[in-house]
Structure 1
Amino acid sequence: MSVTKCRVVILETSDLHGFIFPRSYADHAEARRGLAKVAGAVSLMRREHPQTLLIDNGDCLQGTPLTYYHARVNDKPNNPVVACMNELRYDAAVPGNHEFNYGLPYLQSAVRASRFPWLSANTVDIATGKPYFGRPYLIRQFDGGLRVGLLGLTTSYIPNWEQPAHIAGIRFEDPVDTARKWVDFLKQTERVDAVIVSYHGGFERDLQTGRPSEKLTGENVGYAICENVPGIDVLLTGHQHRAIAGSRINGVCIVQPANEGRFLGKVTLTAERHADGWNITETQSELIPADRFEPDPAVLEIAGEVEALAQTWLDQPIGFVEGSMAIDSHEDVRLREHPLIEFINRVQMDVSGADISNTALFDNQSPGFGERITMRDIVANYIYPNTLKVIRVSGRDIRAALEQSAEYFELGEDGRITVSRAYLAPKPQHYNYDMWEGIDYVLDISKPAGQRVTKLERDGKPLDENEQFEVVMNNYRAGGGGNFTMFQGKPVIKDIAKDMVEILADYIRERRTIKAEANGNWKIIGGAGR
């Protein structure tokens, strides 16, 4: 029997976060990324390779003012992300953790509107014991009869972040165990010749050394999947917003295409058919930069109606600032109390009635507030659809949380305070450094980790570690998100199920003018020149 060859190209997007249009929502500046530009890469790949699979690996429905507007303000038009994915003829999508942010009704509506299946074998309906999204896998047959199976998996750490109502009736099972079960089923029962796993999660270990690269919480288990599940040819990953290609783990070809449509992930799978069946002879991964392509006019047109409505909404004036809440240096905001952080904490305390609050500066793009505040300013600074919870914690828990935040910093070679490398790689985690109001504290970064809280007081007295306090924070942190395990399982005194964007906008509207001020209740010390 003569040898028959078959080549299949697998294309992956991941962590699009609603980024369709190649421009910034903060200032309209050009952004050389987004689904409209990725669409050009997809078109080229399809012209060059007649046999392709196009897969989204999760976190596509949330992340920009466009998606917030559609989910929270006006869902009458078609879902812009799903409509564009339909236009691009995606073969499948995997739900990521942020797919649940707007609640199950919104997610279910997006799934119904999709002309492609959503795959997540380990996201299980508790009532039936079956995959919540219906299909755990997809099979495609290519030239010569080559059968390729695609299995979807979602990070199982979601219950540690998401509001319980948004995942009611769902159980997130271990991805490694689930992969082992379904890969075996695909090979033995479905008789597929190649297995692709699309896992919304990343790698918990260094790709070269295998050493842990983060705390092994179970949030990312891509390395373990490759090491412990035989029969996988390709692992598509995401969640960590990393640009990864050209690597293998235990012989498995891996890829991760960063975030917001910066790259299109590409894996070329080559198979040969002999008398005894198909053999996978080669798998190669690469990243195709989106900035090489012009935005696809069809994609821009499909999402254009909702985009125009969202832009009008973003320019609505809300109020004014007396003084300045503009951010000149994101580093300085985290080293010295800034009026924006003080303001957010004060709003949280006002709406919740709690006397202690914490919040974070989520990323290094937040512009702060100028003299005039619009909705655009609010969503540019508060980028997540968080709600608030008031939980009861001990003084000991507060100290532990401050020590956890203090690990965000380290001393550089010049003795100056800088961001710890663990908070920059494998992806930036600026959102896991909290700043507090309602207590007075000092963090000394020259001290060893775990011993950096050198002052912790309330009302001029040392904080009693056995005393109970009511603290307001966002729902992500209240559930222990960011490895703040001291908050997990604590009594919830109040659950404020209103988005912080709305809370901030309403607060400013009611007052019209807010005052920029900071009381200096905390300090970071221990670095050269400080």
Structure 2
Amino acid sequence: MKRAYFFLGCIFFLIGALSAQDKIVKLKIIETSDIHGNYYPYDFILRHEAEGSLARVYALVQKEREVYKDNLLLLDNGDILQGQPCAYYYNYIDTVSPHLAAETLNFMGYSTGNMGNHDVETGRAVFDRWADDCKFPVLGANIIDTTTGKTHFKPYEVLERDGVKIVVLGMITPAIPVWLSENLWSGLRFDDMEETARKWMKIIREQEKPDLVIGIFHAGQDALLMGGKYRENASVEVARNVPGFDIVLMGHDHARELKKIKNIAGDSVLIMDPASKGIVVANADVTLKLRDGKVIDKQIHGALTETKDYGVSEDFIKHFAPQFDAVQDFVSKKIGCFTETISTRPAYFGSSAFIDLIHTLQLEITGAEISLSAPLSYDTEISKGDVFVSDMFNLYKYENMLYTMKLSGKEVKDALEMSYDLWTNRMKSPDDHLLLLRKTRREGANDRASFQNFSFNFDSAAGIIYTVDVTKPSREKVTIISMADGTPFSMDKMYRVALNSYRGNGGGELLTKGAGISQDELKDRILFSTDKDLRYYLMQYIEKKGVIEPHALGQWKFIPEEWTVPAAKRDYEYLFGKVEK
């Protein structure tokens, strides 16, 4: 009997020891952001294989799921509905089939999505349809329905894995009204990120009692005030000032980031940003130790993982082959012919055929007196010869509307002054740079790696004759000589100005900070807006004309030319390697 009791005691001891043993749970968190229509490893615009893509991301995810199974959480951080023509096709052409962006994310097994500003840009009919097609929640804690005061999308999602409760809170940059016309987001408002995070963190802590909190924010890390009232790129501020986040996943600024910061409570927060197009993913390993169901230790490590090393998922390619073929047919349609090759490269150094073609089309479509436009792609070209639908995505990158606005002569000049301040260096010797360039290139931000500022804010004008003296100080570089037809230009006269809706709504702040027009006054200056995006009208125009003879209008130049011409050659070689013949 004593031996029996001894053995029973040993068994009960072992059972007690096992029950008291700590439990280890390992999670894998993978974020994609700013995919911009790059679902396939193919560029439908340039007609060749592309880096990144969801097909490459899925190959990586399939490999990681062999280890982590359901403990892998796949999250998307917005700007998935704009960019490559395959997004445009399912936004506006085939509106009956399930949206390809939703279908691909469903197929890959995403846990949550998040809204980006370029998703809003597609308009409510498109982004609401896409969100409905997604079999996971699309988040937006600071996107508010103005009628009900409630969030238009789910503010956060609760995910449970292996006894661990994870909460994902999603937010978007609130600066949408600075970029997009209200008809695209009517009935909604976009609240401040930090205020919203404080509100929902309190609710999450009290009601959900999470073990891990992830913020997924479609906003970058370099905070600034836009339009006088919108805190843009406030992700790091939120991570620092609102205790409770373990991981903050960023997007929007197309710049890779991986770091840890201390919040105001002294806790560590992992910050990650995978830039764009699925070339890398943000990849976090989380190890939690639980005792009696409670987390007693948490280890979080992050990495930015290249997708190129994982190849392309054949399952993905096979499954979405019919949609690939439909998009290929769409972009292959011929719409006209160009007699010359045009490139954005010369646009940074003076009047150029590429930008002046857009100016010419904007003036002819609107009947305006002056046109403002910028290079929307950092480095692109359209070859002479037959022009196809695919080329239109090179000619005009974004789905902006075309506005006609009333601006005074002085406001036009002041907007240009700010543009050239963003664009050009102040030359103090012939050996200086002409352009305002970064000292080091920013990794993962190839669309502006060499410029200090975004090239899509480098507006030039047509309809007026002017010079830009790069030896002059800020706000004193532009001299407007006359209208293009030789008639006088007046600072006091109100002009009809053609420009895109991004600029007309305050994007880049050339009209607000530059021209001094208040954010609220901008909409009263709009005389006319197209109801479709500018690319649609450009396609119509080219198709109607048949043959386009692009050429530089020669209506503006940098001076003094004995300095700027050699400097332009040097800067061209710095940016692009060699001068075009």
TM-score, normalising length: structure 2: 0.84
Indicate yes or no: 2:74 matched with 1:54. Answer: yes
Question: Does the CA contact (< 8 Å) of 1:246 and 1:284 recur in 2?
Answer: no
Q: Which amino acid aligns with 1:242?
A: A
The 3 A distance-change label for structure 1 pair 310 and 151 is same
**Cα distance between partner residues in 1 of 2:262 and 2:489:** 48
The 3 A distance-change label for structure 1 pair 60 and 301 is same
Q: Which residue of 2 aligns with 1:81?
A: 101
Question: Does the CA contact (< 8 Å) of 1:153 and 1:199 recur in 2?
Answer: yes
Tell me, what secondary structure is at the counterpart of 2:103? helix
| TM-superposed deviation, 1:421 | 3.1
Question: Does the CA contact (< 8 Å) of 1:80 and 1:302 recur in 2?
Answer: no
Q: Which residue of 2 aligns with 1:208?
A: none
**Cα distance between partner residues in 2 of 1:5 and 1:293:** 28
Q: Which amino acid aligns with 2:112?
A: A
| TM-superposed deviation, 1:481 | 0.5
**Cα distance between partner residues in 2 of 1:474 and 1:511:** 22
Q: Which residue of 1 aligns with 2:571?
A: none
5 Å-filtered alignment, 1:378-527, equals 378-406=392-420, 407-410=422-425, 414-421=431-438, 427=445, 428=448, 429-458=454-483, 460=486, 463-484=489-510, 485=512, 486=515, 488=519, 489-490=521-522, 491-525=525-559, 527=563
Tell me, what secondary structure is at the counterpart of 1:111? helix
The 3 A distance-change label for structure 1 pair 461 and 99 is same
Q: Which residue of 1 aligns with 2:117?
A: 97
| TM-superposed deviation, 1:71 | 1.7
**Cα distance between partner residues in 2 of 1:424 and 1:219:** 23
| TM-superposed deviation, 1:422 | 10
The Cα offsets for residues 96-137 of structure 1, whole Å up to 9 and x where unpaired, read as 11112221111111111111001111001111111101x211
Q: Which residue of 1 aligns with 2:45?
A: 26
**Cα distance between partner residues in 2 of 1:394 and 1:147:** 58
Indicate yes or no: 2:146 matched with 1:130. Answer: no
The Cα offsets for residues 470-489 of structure 1, whole Å up to 9 and x where unpaired, read as 11111111001012224643
The Cα offsets for residues 269-304 of structure 1, whole Å up to 9 and x where unpaired, read as 222234693245321111111111221122223332
Q: Which residue of 1 aligns with 2:357?
A: 343
**Cα distance between partner residues in 1 of 2:419 and 2:362:** 19
Mean CA deviation greater in 267-276 or 121-130: 267-276
- Identical-residue share of aligned pairs (%): 28
5 Å-filtered alignment, 1:285-364, equals 285-322=302-339, 324-327=340-343, 330-364=344-378
The Cα offsets for residues 222-275 of structure 1, whole Å up to 9 and x where unpaired, read as 121022101111001100111112443532101111101111211122222346
Tell me, what secondary structure is at the counterpart of 1:417? coil
Q: Which residue of 2 aligns with 1:209?
A: none
The Cα offsets for residues 481-520 of structure 1, whole Å up to 9 and x where unpaired, read as 0122246433110111122222111111211112222221
| TM-superposed deviation, 1:306 | 2.3
1:234 to 247, 253, 259: 247
| TM-superposed deviation, 1:74 | 2.2
Q: Which amino acid aligns with 2:181?
A: Q
Q: Which residue of 2 aligns with 1:373?
A: 387
Q: Which amino acid aligns with 1:233?
A: D
**Cα distance between partner residues in 2 of 1:52 and 1:449:** 52
Tell me, what secondary structure is at the counterpart of 1:255? strand
The Cα offsets for residues 368-390 of structure 1, whole Å up to 9 and x where unpaired, read as 34122111211222111111111
Question: Does the CA contact (< 8 Å) of 2:178 and 2:227 recur in 1?
Answer: no
| TM-superposed deviation, 1:93 | 0.2
The 3 A distance-change label for structure 1 pair 304 and 172 is same
TM-score, normalising length: structure 1: 0.92
Matched residues, number: 519
**Cα distance between partner residues in 2 of 1:419 and 1:37:** 36
**Cα distance between partner residues in 1 of 2:370 and 2:559:** 22
Q: Which amino acid aligns with 2:492?
A: N
| TM-superposed deviation, 1:17 | 0.7
The Cα offsets for residues 131-187 of structure 1, whole Å up to 9 and x where unpaired, read as 101x211111222x2211110111101111112111000010001110111112111
Q: Which residue of 2 aligns with 1:255?
A: 272
| TM-superposed deviation, 1:435 | 1.7
| TM-superposed deviation, 1:456 | 4.9
Q: Which residue of 2 aligns with 1:67?
A: 87
| TM-superposed deviation, 1:420 | 3.4
Q: Which amino acid aligns with 1:46?
A: R
Higher helix fraction: Structure 1 or Structure 2?
Answer: 2
Tell me, what secondary structure is at the counterpart of 1:248? strand
Q: Which residue of 1 aligns with 2:198?
A: 180
| TM-superposed deviation, 1:54 | 0.8
**Cα distance between partner residues in 2 of 1:465 and 1:411:** 25
The 3 A distance-change label for structure 1 pair 3 and 462 is farther
Tell me, what secondary structure is at the counterpart of 1:53? strand
5 Å-filtered alignment, 1:260-279, equals 260-274=277-291, 277-279=294-296
Indicate yes or no: 2:168 matched with 1:155. Answer: no
Q: Which residue of 2 aligns with 1:202?
A: 220
- Bigger radius of gyration: 2
| TM-superposed deviation, 1:416 | 2.9
The 3 A distance-change label for structure 1 pair 494 and 379 is same
The 3 A distance-change label for structure 1 pair 460 and 435 is same
Q: Which amino acid aligns with 1:506?
A: Q
Question: Does the CA contact (< 8 Å) of 1:319 and 1:508 recur in 2?
Answer: yes
**Cα distance between partner residues in 2 of 1:261 and 1:444:** 41
The Cα offsets for residues 31-71 of structure 1, whole Å up to 9 and x where unpaired, read as 22111001011112222223121110111111111111222
**Cα distance between partner residues in 1 of 2:118 and 2:439:** 23
Q: Which amino acid aligns with 1:220?
A: N
1:3 to 11, 22, 28: 22
Tell me, what secondary structure is at the counterpart of 2:213? strand
Mean CA deviation greater in 274-283 or 190-199: 274-283
Indicate yes or no: 2:256 matched with 1:243. Answer: yes
Runs (5+) with no aligned partner, structure 2: 1-19, 449-453, 568-581
Q: Which residue of 1 aligns with 2:131?
A: 111
